[in-house]
Structure 1
Amino acid sequence: MFSVDTYLSTLGWTGPVEPTARTLRELHKRHMIRVAFDNSAHARLGTSILNDIDIDLDAAFDEIILGGRGGVCFELSGLFRRLLTELGYDVIILSAGARGASGEFGPDFEHLFLGVRLDGELWLVDVGFAGPSFIEPLRLTDEEQEQYGVTYRLIRRDGYHVLQRKGHVGDWQAVYRLKPEARTLADWNGSATDTPDDDDPGWNWAGQLVASGTVIHGRSFDTGQLILVGRRFVRVDNGHEEVRVLVDTDEYRKTAEHILGRDR
């Protein structure tokens, strides 16, 4: 059963709960560190998992926040939305299309995350994207923003805001594109559930991975993120990125258990 006090305890937050930017940043980062992204419970369902995103929050709370299962975007963002709303934040639902390996973006309703209206600004709040992404919320602004050695910016292109990130090495890389428009859960009905079409470049990264049953794990730590997509392992720490394939089965298993918090 959903409980604000229990949720905050799980996140390890004992500070003030008034809706401020500082508290929002703290809760977001703690959520990213303590609650893993994990699609393994859903991967076998393929695209059908996208057909019903209006979840039972009490059941999800018991399984994820209390049970430590980990979850996917609409589960994690759904729970965090409930928490923030209970704490008095002005929260809206947002959608995005993730950048695929080819550089193309997925459909607009490929990913669900949140926006928080606070102090006259809109903050992007996303605890349900495996990454690499951002650890603390970002303001919707033309200004560059830096977190833990990674610089972020939002550029306007073709009617979208494109979120890009850059570490210490390399060029800007897009994360996803969005329109800062409030969505409803009903907007997902039929929007991201079509069968992938080989002739449609818009069906991309996330949709293809879900359809293929690829298992994805992700979790943040104090200065970076760990992401495991299949056997491709990405570690980002203070803006330095390491990417390698975990060929050894034992190393893969131990890495997955570490990301999911099962080795504690």
Structure 2
Amino acid sequence: MDTDRTTRYLARIGVDPATVAVDREGLRRLQRAHVLSVPFETLAVVGHPHRPDDPEGVDHDPDALYRKVVDRERGRGGFCYELNELFRTLLASLGFEVTRVAARVADGPDDPGHPPANHQTTLVSLPDASAPVVADVGMGVPTMRRPTPLTGEPLTDEAGVSWRVRECDRPDADYRTEYRRAGDGEWTVRYRFGAVARERPFFAAAREFLTAAPESPFTGDPVVSRATTEGHLKLRPDELVRVERGEERTDPVAPGFWDAVAREEFGLAYDPARRSRDPDV
């Protein structure tokens, strides 16, 4: 990523390039800014919930990802293979030491139905940290807002969610990322991951499953979510959910107002026809 693209990416997430520092605090600021600015969404996979347009499809070419999330006026988001891949590239361009790794989202103790490498995340080695940290901007709810060290140290964010990364005793993973909401007694495993560096083709099979298989969680209703200062927003086909410090409010969204809510709350002006009109997309 060249200097111009890096500057435009930082502007997309509201960070002044002059304030960037290659240390743990600098990474924390970048990660928090990213999840507050760029939504997790699957509209490219399933299309608009109230229009019969065909979905545009997911293009994992690095240039296409950059145009989708950073360049387009509609300010799109994406899911893990898109957002964490772009964020990893941004960090590398700023001088961070980054490693792309494969993870497996947890769904019960044995992860039934989830293929390996169904999540991509990033490890970052920092000059002022004794161990690498997980820097993840590609999850839905709950969202990891800050770098989380592999030491098991728990960190609680401003939304009241605690995160930690612990060693894993399973043969298919080295670590597990866990979270605990305020008031919860137990920790919940978010995903398990290995510390081995992976190239982009390693994720091809899982990407295909998530974007095409009928049983994939991404091929049903579209998912749109974004972190807020003390909680998150989630847009469903018929409602908007706001959660702030554990308090939840749900407002109905009529089909005719869905686009307006997506634009006002998430910065999305979703228009799949743009793909065919714009030769640069």
TM tier, smaller? 0.7 to 0.9
- Does 1:165 find its partner at 2:171? no
Determine the structure 2 residue equivalent to 1:182: 197
Deviation at 1:195, TM superposition (A): 9.0
Q: What amino acid is the match of 1:115?
A: L
Pick from 65, 68, 78 the counterpart of residue 63 of structure 1. Answer: 68
Normalising by structure 2, report the TM-score: 0.74
8 A contact 2:104–2:118 mirrored in 1 = yes
- Greater fraction strand: 1
- Residue correspondence of structure 1 range 25-44 to structure 2 within 5 A: 25-43=28-46
Query: Hey, what's the Cα distance between the residues in 1 that align with 2:67 and 2:254?
Result: 31
Normalising by structure 1, report the TM-score: 0.78
Query: Hey, what's the Cα distance between the residues in 2 that align with 1:118 and 1:243?
Result: 39
Q: What amino acid is the match of 2:154?
A: E
8 A contact 1:109–1:188 mirrored in 2 = yes
Determine the structure 1 residue equivalent to 2:152: 142
Deviation at 1:65, TM superposition (A): 1.1
- Does 1:11 find its partner at 2:13? yes
Query: Hey, what's the Cα distance between the residues in 2 that align with 1:230 and 1:181?
Result: 38
Deviation at 1:32, TM superposition (A): 0.8
Assess, with a 3 A threshold, how the Cα gap between structure 1 residues 103 and 258 changes in structure 2: closer, same or farther: farther
Determine the structure 1 residue equivalent to 2:267: 261
* Secondary structure, aligned partner of 1:9: helix
Assess, with a 3 A threshold, how the Cα gap between structure 1 residues 6 and 176 changes in structure 2: closer, same or farther: same
RMSD over aligned CA atoms reads 3.2
Give CA-to-partner distance per residue, 1:97-154, whole Å, 9 cap, x none.
Answer: 1133x56522221011211111342111111111213112211122222112211223
8 A contact 2:81–2:120 mirrored in 1 = yes
Give CA-to-partner distance per residue, 1:194-240, whole Å, 9 cap, x none.
Answer: 599xxxxxx9xx96212x333111111222222346657654433x1
Query: Hey, what's the Cα distance between the residues in 1 that align with 2:241 and 2:177?
Result: 19
Determine the structure 2 residue equivalent to 1:242: 248
* Secondary structure, aligned partner of 2:165: strand
Assess, with a 3 A threshold, how the Cα gap between structure 1 residues 71 and 154 changes in structure 2: closer, same or farther: same
Structure 1 gaps, min length 5: 197-202
Query: Hey, what's the Cα distance between the residues in 2 that align with 1:207 and 1:83?
Result: 33
Query: Hey, what's the Cα distance between the residues in 2 that align with 1:226 and 1:93?
Result: 28
* Secondary structure, aligned partner of 1:226: strand
* Secondary structure, aligned partner of 2:82: helix
Determine the structure 2 residue equivalent to 1:227: 234
Query: Hey, what's the Cα distance between the residues in 1 that align with 2:63 and 2:11?
Result: 17
Query: Hey, what's the Cα distance between the residues in 2 that align with 1:195 and 1:216?
Result: 13
- Does 1:116 find its partner at 2:124? yes
8 A contact 1:217–1:259 mirrored in 2 = no
Structure 2 gaps, min length 5: 48-53, 270-281
Assess, with a 3 A threshold, how the Cα gap between structure 1 residues 207 and 235 changes in structure 2: closer, same or farther: farther
Deviation at 1:248, TM superposition (A): 5.0
Q: Percent identity?
A: 26
Deviation at 1:86, TM superposition (A): 0.8
